[in-house]
Amino acid sequence: GNSVTQMEGPVTLSEEAFLTINCTYTATGYPSLFWYVQYPGEGLQLLLKATKADDKGSNKGFEATYRKETTSFHLEKGSVQVSDSAVYFCASRMDSSYKLIFGSGTRLLVRP
């Protein structure tokens, strides 16, 4: 079946460091891919998305590129801030379905 695998956290970085959170998916077709972010005490917010191979989603300095050849959708940011501390969820969804398949989440802690 379809699944999403994320790197385990927590990921601890100093402010202005480069961030990569790995995400890979398995699917029977070509799903749409998403990154959601959950700040402490809040619900999930859509951070970015990509709907087809080679698409790049971007928002708030974060980027992720849909790589069909490696079935990956890694999240990157060139310079993290303390305010980026949160839990990040990678997710996939087949276009014919409402069902989001979530990864287990990766906690990011950015220190001043």
Partner 1 sequence: ETGVTQTPRHLVMGMTNKKSLKCEQHLGHNAMYWYKQSAKKPLELMFVYSLEERVENNSVPSRFSPECPNSSHLFLHLHTLQPEDSALYLCASSQGDGFSYNEQFFGPGTRLTVL
49 makes contact with partner 1 (CB under 8 A)? yes
77 makes contact with partner 1 (CB under 8 A)? no
- Helix and strand tally (H, E) in the chain? 0, 12
- Cβ proximity to partner 1: between 17 and 107 the closer is 107
* Alpha-carbon span 104 to 87, nearest angstrom: 10
36 makes contact with partner 1 (CB under 8 A)? yes
Q: Which token pair is 21?
A: 């959170």
Residue by residue, DSSP assigns 23-61 as EEEE-SS--EEEEEEE-TTS-EEEEEEE-STT-EEEETT
26 makes contact with partner 1 (CB under 8 A)? no
Contact segment (CB under 8 A) with partner 1 among 9-17, 30-38, 65-73, 76-84 equals: 30-38
The kind and range of the H/E element at 62 are strand 62-65
96 makes contact with partner 1 (CB under 8 A)? yes
Strand 3-6 with 75-77, pairing: unpaired
45 makes contact with partner 1 (CB under 8 A)? yes
62 makes contact with partner 1 (CB under 8 A)? no
Which residues of this protein are in contact with partner 1, per CB under 8 A?
A: 32, 34, 36, 42-46, 49, 89, 93, 95-100, 102-105
